[in-house]
Amino acid sequence: MGCIVSEFHTDESVSSWICRQIFYAKTPSSQANSVGLRHFIQSKQNYSDLDYFYSLQDIVTLQEYLPIPVPNLISQSAAECWWTLPTHRNRIHFCPQCAIEDLAFTRVPVWRRNWLHWWYLLCDKHYSVMRPLTGQYCVLNVVDRSIAAMKMVIDGQSKSHSDNDLFGNLVPFSNFELLCGRGPNKYPEMQLALTVFSKMASPVQAEIASYYSIPGLETPPERVTMILDLLNLLLRRHVKGIDPPAYAYQLFNVFFWRPEYQYNQGSREDVASLIDRACEGVDPFIRLVAMAIASYLLDYPNSDFLWGVIADSSARLGALVPDSRGWLYAVICGPTDIPLKSWYIDRIATYSTVGRDQCLKFTTAPCALNELLSEFQIYSNISISHVKKACKLGVLLTRASWCWLS
């Protein structure tokens, strides 16, 4: 037991290591002060960060509550804050398959360092989408995080489906009937969409991870900044009843709608100031959709074919998803009175010549409406005026929305 408790698991986060001490303190052989550890965690969460920015005083305080030597948390907790999720999220995203494997060795799920990052959406080992602790498994304290994950696994809320032959051995995690609240007749489209979104987001995540592995990198490289700006654009806040939800939310609802899901809302006055870092406080499934859209706009390899699959699949579900970058960008920017386009154009101006040229390919591209309309009319009867109005308002065109636009 002592060896298990004193050593960090492979790629384990600091908060996970400390929380494991509390879990093991319940055993008769442990002499750890669980009450003192809980007080330390609460204080660290209130005034700093449980995973980062440890000082010598923090280590001395922590040592008072543990019968084992405390590792060098200063080097273990050194990281750039722009790589992480907000503290108020309690770092609640995890891979169910990793959690199941941990139960056999450490008796409690181990939170990896990669799980703390906003860009880490697909498990490198199991190719499954990160699962958030929500609903009945929601936690208010990071100490309860591992127990909630164990309950979710035991309750069978984290089952994986089999491979999709079309896209190789990528196995995206989802229990569609429980997660999405839709009937079995929607299952093939959901499975296909989640597989394609995962396939598109995977190279984006891999590129960000390659930069993250560079030692001493204090500021995000331009390529990461371009991705982050697009995700913030795709996941902007909105005012319910006044502004349409951001495009990534609308596209998510076409395939994975959940009745209990709440949009990322804010007051109208705060919209412009809250565009920055909008991607961090969002469900990982929503971020997966946004990252897939960013992959298409930034022209990642094979993204044209994969996005075409999404456009065709959405048409079968009664939604008109643009299959051209120019139109997609126009719809993403939404209503003209929300300062999204001007904000993003200002961001593009700060890029290098190469970065600006790549972004200008879709920000200045014409909206190829007629070609897409001819394909979509196979499924529905819709006029060009409906499309132009939806594009202006930033509304995803579905059977419900075009009746409202008429």
Domain end, chosen from 99, 121, 154, is at: 154
Do 331 and 207 belong together in one domain? yes
Kindly state whether residues 215 and 149 are assigned to the same domain: no
Name the range with the highest mean pLDDT among 11-20, 90-99, 114-123, 290-299. Answer: 290-299
- Domain total for the chain? 2
Q: Is residue 160 in some structural domain? A: no
Report d(CA 367, CA 151) in Å as an integer. 48
| Residues in contact with 42: Cβ distance below 8 Å, sequence separation at least 6, in sequence order | 141
Is 359 found in the same domain as 325? yes
Among 72-81, 174-183, 259-268, the minimum mean pLDDT is found in 174-183
pLDDT digits (tens, 9 = 90+) for 4-57: 466 788 888 888 888 888 887 766 556 667 888 888 888 887 777 788 888 888
pTM > 0.85: yes or no: no
Q: Which of 109, 51, 111, 54 is nearest to 84 (CA)?
A: 51
- Residue-wise pLDDT for 216-244, tens only, equals 676 778 888 899 889 888 887 766 666 66
pLDDT in tens, 348-405: 999 999 999 999 888 876 655 444 454 444 444 555 555 555 555 545 555 444 443 4
Domain-located, residue 159: no
Tokens matching residue 359: 């972004």
328 and 365 in a common domain: yes
- 35-49, 141-155, 207-221: least confident range: 207-221
Local structure of 170: helix, strand or coil: coil
Over range 275-281, report the average pLDDT. Answer: 46
**186 and 137 fall within a common domain:** no
* Cβ neighbours, 10 Å, residue 60: 10
Question: Does the pLDDT at position 271 exceed 50?
Answer: no
For residue 67, tell me if it sits in a domain: yes
pLDDT confidence of residue 282: 62
Whether residues 310 and 392 share a domain: the answer is: yes
Same structural domain for residues 275 and 378?
yes
Domain membership flag for residue 362: yes
In a domain, residue 188? The reply is: yes
Same domain for 65 and 96, yes or no, is yes
Q: Give the residue numbers spanning the domain of 127.
A: 2-154
pLDDT score at 348: 92
The per-residue DSSP string of 262-323 comes to ---B--GGGTTTTSTTGGGGS-HHHHHHHHHHHHHHTT-TTHHHHHHHHHHHHHHTTEE---
Residues 400 and 277 in one domain: yes
Q: What is the pLDDT of residue 106?
A: 84
Q: What is the mean pLDDT of residues 316-332?
A: 82
| Claim to verify: residue 301 and residue 234 sit in the same structural domain | yes
In terms of domains, do 236 and 371 share one? Answer: yes
Asked if 18 and 140 sit in the same domain, the reply is yes
Domain boundary among 89, 120, 154: 154
350 in a domain, yes or no?
A: yes
Q: Which of 121, 154, 187 is the last residue of a domain?
A: 154
pLDDT of residue 303: 93
Indicate the pLDDT class of residue 297, thresholds 50, 70 and 90. Answer: very high
